[in-house]
Amino acid sequence: MIVPILYSLACRRRCSAGPQPADRHHLLTSNRQRAQMKPNIMDEVPWSESLTSYDREHFTIYLRILDACADNASVEEMADLILGIDPALEPVRARKVFRSHLDRANWMVTTGYKEIFAG
């Protein structure tokens, strides 16, 4: 399943100062969509030297994390927007879950991809 990024992290930064009248509908729609699309995320990614069913189900999450890292997004932004964890309410958990998923995403691009293309 492909899950679209609801709005760019750059937009999130721009909108963090408060919604402008033209942006109000955009933010309300995004928040509503985000609540409906909250991913089923484990705190610790199941680790294996081969692809797991969790990897296959969360491949899009891994890609979104890598893309956001390339855009220099903060851990807090990624935890909130991608993992669905409020870093203000759960700062330790947000960092732990993010780190676990980032480690697995990095494994996917260095090793795990071979299984995907092997057939």
14-51 pLDDT tens trace: 444 444 444 434 433 344 455 445 568 999 999 999 99
| Residue count (the chain) | 119
DSSP 29-51: HHHHHHHHT-----SSPPP-SS-
**Could you tell me what percent of the chain has a pLDDT over 90?**
61
Does residue 12 lie within any of the structural domains? no
pTM: 0.69
Q: Is residue 8 part of a domain?
A: no
Asked whether residue 46 is domain-assigned, the answer is yes
Alpha carbons 54 and 39: distance in angstroms, whole number: 12
- Residue 49, domain extent: 40-118
Domain count, the chain: 1
Residue 72 lies in a domain: yes
